[in-house]
Chains A and B, each alone.
Chain A
């Protein structure tokens, strides 16, 4: 479910980076406050564990195909939401850097899609509520399946929103949604069953590990100055509000800044639309997508700038208006091909000339 750099626009990537960075800062603060300095190495080692476990496949019953664990929900159950979010973020960072699983610019999107939903929605609001910290296998399984499925549905939906609002892929909102949601419903159920089988095993073999993971919440349930006692569940909703607010503010801020820059762009939207032959069709199709988008998040309103169709010749025209008018479409494409080949040859030559030579003895 990782988004690649090639499919997102800088505005979407940047906004999600800001949102994820803010959440990382918030969670780091929370983790530091728990004052349990054991947790940082534990997070790292569990992150590595998720990596290792993702390499072990299991057979999915009745299908014959095999799958592997995602691990977001499992980390949340073992570490609690804040530490789990940071660990998922670092697993994704290593995947982006070493395996190019999702790109660097898309990292913010991926951290949000795969980290935020399991750690802050699926675990506290669904898993904990249903399982209520019992060790019964059935209860854990039901809770994990529902939580994992809901988390992945939200993540998949967020992938659709980010991709469609980036406007690189030609898939329409509805089609992409129909492709993503059913697949991830199945993936979610499998993830839930697998997570439950591991958690149930741990709950029987070493129940204190699961108890400890609840500790960060419990230790925070201190009595405040007025003598009022906060329970863990009260606190979790309090902190959840903090996280959601951080995300919202960051997204609004970057959205605002990005839209300000976008409106400074000289390539007029109307102008490029007029140049597109089937302007009416495009407008209708894209319009509905953006209506839906606008309903979901007013901040994304600047995005039409990025997702309307632009002609290659229009783009060339935006930088060199003289050329675009003189050169016919075919002429432009031939020039593009010739120039492109020459550029590549020049780049290769530069690479060859600058090649690192072994040091002379």
Chain B
């Protein structure tokens, strides 16, 4: 399958997951957005040599994934596909930070390796939570939440336009790109010259499309803002969701629970 088509299918699947129905899906988008932002902020606020204190945070993605019925394998796959990039980002830590920091038996581990793993762990947690937010909420509702948080309508409206047209335009460019690939045997003709006119053509069509879309929307009474048909009210359950999770995150952040459990266990069973 074409690379672009594959990326599109993936995108569609993530968007479709948001149409599910579960206790998590029913939580107000604002509540979910706030909790995810608090989660990410508290995870990244841990210092760079911290691994054990980050582990309890895994409760949030695990519990929410299982409660909402998101396919865990799909989410994990998406995270794993991104890990090579993050490995590169953290690769320099073990090289530059060689000061030994931890000793298990005869093996000495340098600070660089600890921060390397800490970065990987942070990445998995923060990326996972972002996927969970979009997978249980959908972009439409996240935009509503952003609107509640004070982002201007111009911004959120065009964000929604963008999301709606990604599929149309990407399918069109997938076809154009495939046609170019088939005509350029051995990659000749894939250079910048043909790219310029290919993309230019797509751009002209895009402009035409934007005009037609706008005219059609005006004809249907568009006043500059998009609306969601589902009216949502912020209920007590949503408030409980926010307070519960944020309190839990604060406890995780202020107390190194694994260290406490660990020292309790090692003290009890020496």
Contact = CB atoms under 8 A, between A and B. Distances in A.
Interface residues of B, number: 126
Nearest to B14: A98
User: Which of B66, B150, B199 neighbours the largest number of chain A CB atoms within 10 Å of its CB?
Assistant: B199
A171 interface: yes
Most chain B CB within 10 A, of A45, A202, A332, A334, is at A45
A339 B210 contact: no
B169 A45 contact: yes
Contacts of B99: 277-278
Interface range, A side? 35 or more
B159 A93 contact: yes
A28 B104 CA distance: 56
Given A48-B161, A315-B49, A206 B63 contact: no
Q: Which residue, A56, A172, A175, A338, has most C-beta atoms of chain B within 10 A?
A: A56
Contacts of A40: 154, 157-158, 161, 224
Central interface residue in A87, A170, A194, A311, by most chain B CB within 10 Å: A170
B53 interface: yes
Interface in A74-101: 78, 86-87, 89-91, 93-94, 96-98, 100
Contact of B256 (A28, A200, A320): A320
Interface stretch (A5-13, A244-252, A292-300): A5-13
Nearest to B65: A351
Contacts of B114: 312
Interface string A179-196: 000000000000001101
Nearest to B36: A104
Nearest to A69: B199
B172 to A, nearest CB: 7
Interface stretch (A214-222, A231-239, A323-331): A323-331
Contacts of B187: 59
Interface in A33-63: 37-38, 40-49, 51-53, 55-61
B207 A42 contact: yes
A278 B101 CA distance: 11
A100 B78 contact: yes
A49 B158 CA distance: 13
A274 interface: no
B119 A198 contact: no
A333 B112 CA distance: 16
Interface stretch (A118-126, A127-135, A147-155, A341-349): A341-349
B16 interface: no
A202 B196 CA distance: 9
Contacts of A47: 158-159, 161-162
A102 B67 CA distance: 26
A44 B157 contact: yes
B127 interface: yes
B82 to A, nearest CB: 5
B8 to A, nearest CB: 9
B9 interface: no
Interface string B147-163: 00011111101111111
A91 B158 CA distance: 10
Nearest to B46: A315
A212 to B, nearest CB: 9
B56 to A, nearest CB: 5
Contacts of A105: 37, 40-41, 44, 126
Given A41-B214, A44-B157, A5 B122 contact: yes
A330 B104 contact: yes
B169 A49 contact: yes
B96 A171 contact: yes
A48 B191 contact: no
A340 interface: yes
Nearest to B198: A56
A46 B213 CA distance: 13
A89 B155 contact: yes
A271 interface: no
B114 to A, nearest CB: 7
A105 B41 CA distance: 7
B76 to A, nearest CB: 13
Determine which residue in B55, B85, B158 has the highest number of CB atoms from chain A within 10 A of its CB, and name it.
Answer: B158
Interface in B60-99: 62-63, 65-69, 78-79, 82, 85-86, 89-90, 92-93, 95-97, 99
In this complex, which of A175, A337, A356 has the most chain B Cβ atoms within 10 angstroms of its Cβ? Answer: A356
Contacts of B170: 48, 51-52, 55
Given A168-B115, A201-B200, A202-B203, A8 B257 contact: no
A350 B63 contact: yes
Contact of B92 (A44, A60, A169, A337): A169
Nearest to A167: B48
A354 B64 CA distance: 9
Contacts of A59: 187, 190-192
A316 interface: yes
Given A194-B192, A201-B196, A312 B130 contact: no
* B90, B164, B196: most-surrounded residue (chain A CB, <10 A): B196
Interface in B179-237: 187, 190-193, 195-204, 206-207, 209-211, 213-214, 217, 224
25 contacts: A4-B85, A10-B45, A28-B153, A28-B155, A40-B154, A44-B164, A47-B161, A48-B164, A52-B169, A56-B198, A56-B199, A58-B191, A58-B192, A66-B190, A98-B134, A100-B131, A104-B130, A170-B92, A172-B96, A197-B193, A201-B199, A334-B266, A337-B52, A343-B58, A347-B59
Given A98-B11, A339-B260, A342-B262, 7 more contacts: A48-B166, A49-B206, A90-B158, A315-B50, A336-B262, A347-B63, A356-B68
The list of the 4 closest CB pairs from A to B, nearest first, reads: A44-B161, A339-B262, A197-B196, A201-B200
